[in-house]
Amino acid sequence: MAEAFNDLILPAEKAQRYAAVAEEIAAVLDGEPNLTARMATVASMLASTFDHYFWTGFYVVDETREAELVVGPYQGTLGCMRIAFGRGVCGTAAATGQTQVVEDVHAFPGHIACDGRSASEIVAPVFDPDGKLIAVFDVDSDRPAAFDGVDKDGLEGILKQVFAARR
Ligand code: SME
């Protein structure tokens, strides 16, 4: 069943769609400096591009707290409010600064289940132009092993273009 799901979109087509949506996002955000608007646009456009995305959004670094993420712009069912650095998949991405690709969330130590239907997940760190961590971008799928290196490269490229590039 899992294989059948993942066969719906071939890696080459998925990579093409990431490239196309990256261009669309750049066009929509041209001249818009507001960070919330940029995050909301990325979440909306990616969620509507890919069928394997179930929950799509940002957890932003809460500067008023010690090593804590708070939910930001997202598309999907109700997300958890706060996640400490080091906890779950999002907290691990924040603490390590590395993208986490999780084929089976139930096998990930400390995974935080906001919606029981989530089966696999990818979380990428979001850096500003100075290289400072400002958020993580979290995508959950209700399909097992939905994310691979194509998603990792596609997402990291878009996040770099939207949040880390100097404009
Ligand atoms: N599953 C995430 C928490 C965020 S929700 O899935 C929206 C985690 O383990 O970090």
For the chain, the structural domain boundaries read 8-164
**Distance from residue 111's CA to the centre of ligand 1 (Å):** 7
Identify the three-state secondary structure at position 123. strand
Compute the distance from residue 105 Cα to the ligand 1 centre, in Å. 9
From the CA of 87, give the closest atom in ligand 1: 10
What digits encode the pLDDT tens for the residues 2-55?
Answer: 444 545 788 899 999 999 999 999 999 999 999 999 999 999 999 999 999 999
- Residue owning the nearest CA to atom 3 of ligand 1: 112
Nearest atom, ligand 1, residue 76 CA: 7
| DSSP for residue 79 | P
What is the rounded end-to-end Cα distance, in angstroms, of the chain?
A: 44
Q: Is 111 helix (H, G, I), strand (E, B) or coil?
A: coil
- For the CA of 121, the closest atom of ligand 1 is 1
CA distance 21 to 29: 12
Q: Could you say which DSSP state residue 163 is in? A: I
Q: Nearest-CA neighbor of 109 among 79, 82, 87?
A: 87
Q: What pLDDT score was predicted for residue 4?
A: 46
Please identify, by atom number, the ligand 1 atom nearest to the C-alpha of residue 92. Answer: 10
pTM: 0.94
User: Residue 7: its pLDDT value, please?
Assistant: 52
- Which superfamily does CATH assign the domain made up of 8-164 to? GAF domain (3.30.450.40)
The predicted pLDDT at position 167 comes to 80
Give the binding-site residues of ligand 1, using a 6 Å CB cut-off: 55, 79-80, 83, 88-91, 111-112, 114, 118, 121, 138, 140
What is the phi-psi region of residue 31: left when phi exceeds 0, alpha when psi lies from -120 to 50, beta otherwise? left
Pocket test of ligand 1: the residue of 59, 98, 99, 140 to mutate, having most ligand atoms within 8 Å of its CB, is 140
Q: 149: CA distance to ligand 1 center in Å?
A: 20
Helix/strand/coil for 47: helix
Confidence of residue 119 (pLDDT cuts 50, 70, 90): very high
